[in-house]
């Protein structure tokens, strides 16, 4: 069966009861929809848009955090929405043209920064907007443009629809998103819910553990020694607690605390020195992570970067101190003798090769944390028979290398969907929201500590057919901590979401009863007066 609606193209959208149920809830009040990636949040948005436009005069504003995501939404709406004009507003469109498109269009898909700027300059107004959709609504915190737009919209009587697969693990974060965006209701669905489960395709998750190679272990030992020396200095200065594990997260807390003390006027040589030592520890900690979890190529590139910073006139003192150390010299010497990459790469090559042999028409997506690793994996996977490999990276370029503009990112994904490429190696730009085709296999080169990013990565497969996820973990390294962190946060997020939903429903029921009582009391008073 298909959705039947005068504004939706006939026989183009499969009818799914849970999507209709969620859309109806969104039409009653401003709602945050939390739904697993690939379960049709965009279709729910379409159903709500069609109903709003058919019942009310006015416009719909759909906001997404990136231009490729905006273009993707607009393409879908133009294809499925009948008799209504959809415009795309991004920073690439001239302000005067944006102003005209705003007036002429029924649906406006835009990045939030553009709308916030046009509101500030009074080129546009939200008076005629009857619905705002915030895609990737978990971004609606702090000073992000979503918050400014929602604040301007509040009190206009229009609806808000927030969409996300992962709003965050803390109750405070979830409540902040709802408060900032004017959300009055939460609707949560997981793969296990009865109305969703029949549409869920199996996703098999495998964890593949590898060991740090002996040669790289020697490098890591030297880096760990240097890291430990810097941590000891910070403990002796009284800015770190020796009883607390010296994680990168803790070091960043130390930086904020020391900076705060300096800003308050507490000027001392110890505090300034602590900032420098903390910066050294962060850099060495990053090098240690690369050695243990990424491989020779990524570490070598980073060591060269530290040397370049140390040699530069405006380079940091931290880099100079690290490069001048005996440990750094030893690390460079040891790395120059290594001929083997990290064992993760041979496992990735084996897994991808096997996938393409068993199922030649497969689509494979490999996620890497770092650009250097992305380049290395792309080059090595290209050697596999039958692998047509490209990379998906962000816009920011580096020396001698340009990033991909957002139109180029869209082009890569389109060619992946069409089968020109069957393997894409992506950095974090491939995680959020983008439709990356029916991917059969997703590989995490390393786990990520964020439950949001982990959910988004995993959600790139199992969309319209069964999929597989492989997570590579280096034993005894930060990989293990990252995996444990994301899994714990994800469990907490689900539990808190359902808890918040129950609390929300109870409070809403109480408020409804109080309104009914007040209304009844008013009617009785009128009757007595009559």
Residue 490 within any structural domain of the chain: no
Asked if residue 321 lies in contact with residue 273, where contact means CB atoms within 8 angstroms, the answer is no
Name the domain boundary from 163, 197, 231: 197
For position 414, which CATH number holds? 3.40.50.300
Report if residue 208 sits inside a domain: no
* One domain, residues 358 and 332: no
As to burial, measured by CB atoms within 10 angstroms (0-12 exposed, 13-18 middle, 19+ buried), residue 11 is: exposed
Domain membership of residue 411 (yes or no) is yes
Does one domain contain both 253 and 281?
yes
Q: Are residues 243 and 156 in the same domain?
A: no
- Map residue 23 onto helix, strand or coil: helix
329-336: long-range contacts, CB 8 A cutoff, minimum separation 24: 330/222, 331/219, 331/222, 331/223, 331/287, 331/303, 332/303, 334/215, 334/218, 334/219, 334/222, 335/219, 335/296, 335/299, 335/300, 335/303
Query: Domain for residue 3, yes or no?
Result: no
* Domain co-membership, 332 together with 354: no
Q: Say if 524 falls within a structural domain.
A: no
Average pLDDT over residues 267-286: 93
Q: Do 301 and 376 reside in the same domain of the chain?
A: no
pLDDT, tens digit, 9 for 90 and up, residues 507-525: 777 776 777 777 777 666 6
- Give me the pLDDT at residue 389, please: 96
pLDDT band, very low/low/confident/very high, at 155 (cuts 50, 70, 90): confident
Domain end call among 462, 480, 498: 480
When pLDDT is cut at 50, 70 and 90, the band that residue 455 belongs to is low
* 516 domain-assigned: no
Q: Which of 480, 501, 524 is the last residue of a domain?
A: 480
Distance from C-alpha of 172 to C-alpha of 178, rounded to nearest angstrom: 10
Read off the pLDDT of each residue in 78-83 and give the average, rounded to a whole number: 95
Same domain, 292 and 180: no
Range 356-360, long-range pairs (CB < 8 A, 24+ positions):
356/384, 356/385, 356/386, 356/387, 356/422, 356/423, 357/386, 359/440, 360/386
- Identify the burial level of 123 via C-beta atoms within 10 angstroms of its C-beta, where 0-12 means exposed, 13-18 middle and 19 or more buried: middle
List the alpha helices (DSSP H) in 169-268.
Answer: 171-181, 194-197, 214-236, 248-263
Q: Do residues 29 and 184 make contact, with C-beta atoms less than 8 angstroms apart?
A: yes
Question: Which segment of 89-103, 143-157, 199-213 scores lowest on mean pLDDT?
Answer: 199-213
When pLDDT is cut at 50, 70 and 90, the band that residue 202 belongs to is: low
Number of domains in the chain: 3
Flag whether pLDDT at 222 surpasses 70: yes
| Together in a domain, 438 and 351 | yes
* The 107-110 sheet, strands edge to edge: 86-89, 107-110, 59-63, 129-135, 159-164, 31-34, 185-188
Higher pLDDT, 467 or 53: 53
207 assigned to some structural domain: no
Is residue 399 very low, low, confident or very high in pLDDT (cuts 50, 70, 90)? low
What CATH number should be reported for the domain holding residue 264?
A: 1.20.1320.20
Average pLDDT, the chain: 88
Which residue, among 436, 309, 406, 423, has the nearest Cα to 356 in the 3D structure? 423
Residue 204 belongs to a domain: no
pLDDT band at 341 (very low <50, low <70, confident <90, very high): confident
Global model pTM greater than 0.75: no
pLDDT of 260 above 90: yes
Same structural domain, 368 and 325: no
One domain, residues 363 and 461: yes
403 and 304, same structural domain? no
Residue 131 has pLDDT above 90, yes or no: yes
Q: Are residues 258 and 373 in the same domain?
A: no
Interval 144-168 mean pLDDT: 91
Residues 332 and 347 in one domain: no
Closest CA to 466 of 430, 499, 441: 441
Domain that includes residue 274, residue range: 214-337
pLDDT of 125 > 60? The answer is yes
């Amino acid at each position: 069966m298909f959705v039947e609606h005068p504004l939706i193209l006939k026989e183009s959208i499969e009818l799914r009861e849970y999507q209709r149920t969620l859309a109806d809830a969104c039409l009653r009040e401003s709602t945050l929809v939390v739904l697993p990636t690939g379960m049709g949040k965009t279709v729910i948005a379409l159903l709500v848009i069609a109903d709003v436009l058919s019942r009310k005069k006015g416009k719909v504003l759909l906001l997404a955090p990136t231009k490729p995501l905006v273009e993707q939404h607009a393409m879908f709406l133009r294809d499925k929405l009948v008799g209504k004009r959809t415009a795309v507003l991004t920073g690439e469109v001239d302000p005067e043209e944006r102003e005209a498109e705003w007036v002429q269009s029924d649906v406006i898909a835009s990045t939030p920064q553009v709308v916030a700027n046009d509101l500030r300059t009074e080129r546009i107004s939200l008076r005629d907007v009857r619905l705002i959709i915030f895609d990737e609504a978990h971004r609606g915190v702090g000073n992000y443009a979503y918050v400014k737009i929602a604040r301007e919209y509040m009190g206009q009587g229009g609806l808000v629809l927030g969409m996300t697969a992962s709003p965050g693990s803390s109750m405070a974060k979830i409540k902040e998103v709802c408060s900032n965006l004017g959300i009055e209701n939460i609707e949560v669905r997981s793969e296990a819910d009865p109305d969703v489960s029949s549409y869920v395709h199996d996703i098999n998750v495998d964890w593949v553990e590898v060991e740090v190679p002996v040669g790289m272990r020697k490098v890591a030992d030297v880096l760990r020694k240097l890291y430990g020396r810097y941590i000891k200095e910070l403990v002796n200065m009284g800015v770190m607690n020796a009883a607390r594990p010296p994680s990168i997260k803790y070091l960043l807390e130390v930086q904020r605390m020391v900076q705060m003390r300096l800003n308050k006027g507490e000027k001392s040589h110890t505090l300034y020195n602590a900032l420098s030592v903390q910066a050294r520890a962060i850099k060495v900690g990053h090098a240690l992570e690369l050695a243990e979890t990424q491989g020779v190529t990524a570490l070598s590139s980073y060591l060269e970067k530290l040397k370049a910073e140390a040699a530069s006139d405006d380079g940091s003192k931290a880099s100079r101190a690290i490069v001048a150390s005996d440990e750094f010299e030893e690390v460079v010497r040891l790395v120059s003798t290594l001929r083997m990459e990290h064992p993760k790469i041979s496992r990735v090559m084996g897994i991808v090769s096997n996938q393409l042999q068993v199922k030649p028409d497969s689509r494979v997506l490999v996620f890497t944390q770092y650009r250097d690793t992305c380049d290395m994996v792309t080059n090595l996977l290209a050697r596999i028979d039958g692998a047509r490999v490209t990379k998906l990276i962000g816009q920011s370029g580096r020396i001698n290398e340009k990033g991909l503009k957002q139109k180029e990112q869209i082009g890569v994904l389109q060619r992946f969907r069409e089968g020109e490429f069957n393997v894409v190696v992506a950095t974090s730009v491939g995680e959020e929201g983008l439709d990356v085709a029916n991917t059969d296999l997703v590989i995490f080169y390393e786990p990520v500590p964020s439950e949001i990013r982990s959910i988004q990565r995993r959600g790139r497969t199992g969309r319209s057919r069964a999929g597989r996820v492989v997570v590579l973990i280096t034993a005894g390294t930060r990989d293990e901590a990252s995996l444990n962190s994301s899994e714990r946060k994800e469990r907490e997020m689900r539990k808190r979401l359902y808890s918040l939903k129950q609390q929300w429903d109870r409070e809403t029921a109480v408020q409804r009863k109080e309104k009914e009582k007040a209304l009844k009391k008013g009617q009785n008073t009128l009757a007595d007066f009559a």
